């Protein structure tokens, strides 16, 4: 059984519901959810002209290979309506493997640790909530240190459900 950290994000439709549905889908596919970070509202980084995201990090346990988990995540994304049209563009759901235990994996379809996690506050802030002392297996730096050192200054703010409990279209 491997401890895995996953990043989840959504900027289309009911963003919080999309993330909640993805996490519920984990349970149906033998991905054991251990802990979830709070949701954060984050400004787009790579393609700036799009709605803001909701992001979180989830710690899970997985009893399989990393590429099998990646395929499971892609299945969930497809089931929730993800269409890969524009790179870094708007999406119903996006899920990435950040860490898979202490493994370093470099395959054409999969790089672990995620190659850009140290440059993304929208990943580091919620990851720091769950695992500030986790040491990046390639950089040999803790998550808390990566957060302090990142050059990314994009806005990441704790998200609270709007009054009435229903999120409007962003």
Answer for the pair 159, 38: CB distance below 8 angstroms, yes or no: yes
Q: So where are the chain's domains?
A: 2-158
Cα–chain center distance at 39: 11
Tell me what the pLDDT averaged over the chain comes to. Answer: 90
Answer for the pair 119, 136: CB distance below 8 angstroms, yes or no: no
Q: What is the pLDDT of residue 46?
A: 76
Residue 120, class by beta-carbon neighbours within 10 Å (0-12 exposed, 13-18 middle, 19+ buried)?
buried
Backbone angles phi, psi at 159, to 5 degrees: -100, 140
Confidence of residue 169 (pLDDT cuts 50, 70, 90): very low
44-53, 63-72, 81-90, 147-156, range with the lowest pLDDT: 81-90
How far is 156 from 101, CA to CA, in rounded Å?
26
Contacts of 83-86 with C-beta under 8 Å, sequence gap 24+, read 86/47
Q: What is the pLDDT of residue 170?
A: 42
Cβ atoms within 10 Å of 129's Cβ, excluding its own: 17
What is the percentage of the chain residues whose pLDDT exceeds 70? Answer: 89
Q: What is the pLDDT of residue 161?
A: 74
Predicted confidence (pLDDT) per residue in 52-78, tens digit: 999 999 999 999 999 999 999 999 999
CA atoms lying within 13 Å on the CB side of residue 131:
26
Fold observed for domain 2-158: Alpha-Beta Plaits (3.30.70)
Backbone angles phi, psi at 11, to 5 degrees: -135, 20
Q: Over the Cα atoms of the chain, what is R_g? A: 15
């Amino acid at each position: 059984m491997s401890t895995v950290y996953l990043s989840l994000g959504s900027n289309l439709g009911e963003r919080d519901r999309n993330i909640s549905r993805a996490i519920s889908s984990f349970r149906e596919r033998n991905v054991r959810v251990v802990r979830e970070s709070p949701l954060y509202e984050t400004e787009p980084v790579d393609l700036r002209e799009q709605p803001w995201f909701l992001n979180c990090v989830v710690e899970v346990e997985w009893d399989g290979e990393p590429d099998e988990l990646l395929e499971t995540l892609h299945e969930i994304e497809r089931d929730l309506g993800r269409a890969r049209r524009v790179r870094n563009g708007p999406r119903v759901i996006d899920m990435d493997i950040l860490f898979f235990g202490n493994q370093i994996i470099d395959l054409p379809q999969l790089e672990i640790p995620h190659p850009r996690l140290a440059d993304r506050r929208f990943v580091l802030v919620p990851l720091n909530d769950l695992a500030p002392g986790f040491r990046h297996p390639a950089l040999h730096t803790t998550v808390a240190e990566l957060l302090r050192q990142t050059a990314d200054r994009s806005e990441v703010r704790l998200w609270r459900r709007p009054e009435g409990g229903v999120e409007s279209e962003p």
